[in-house]
Amino acid sequence: MVCLLIFSLDLAVKSYLIGWEEFRKSKWLIGYTVVISASIIDWVLSVSMVCDERHPAAGTPPLPLHYDRHAAVC
pTM: 0.59
Chain segment 56-74, per-residue pLDDT in tens: 555 566 656 665 656 555 5
User: How many Å apart are CA 38 and CA 32, to the nearest integer?
Assistant: 10
- Coil/strand/helix, residue 61: coil
Number of folded domains that form the chain: 1
Chain segment 9-59, per-residue pLDDT in tens: 999 999 999 988 898 899 999 999 999 999 999 888 888 877 555 555 555
Note whether residue 40 is domain-resident. yes
What's the DSSP call for residue 69?
Answer: G
Taking a C-beta distance cutoff of 8 angstroms, is the pair 47, 53 a contact? no
In this predicted structure, what is the pLDDT of residue 57?
56
Note whether residue 68 is domain-resident. no
What's the DSSP call for residue 70?
Answer: G
Host domain of residue 42:
19-50
Note whether residue 30 is domain-resident. yes
In this predicted structure, what is the pLDDT of residue 73?
53
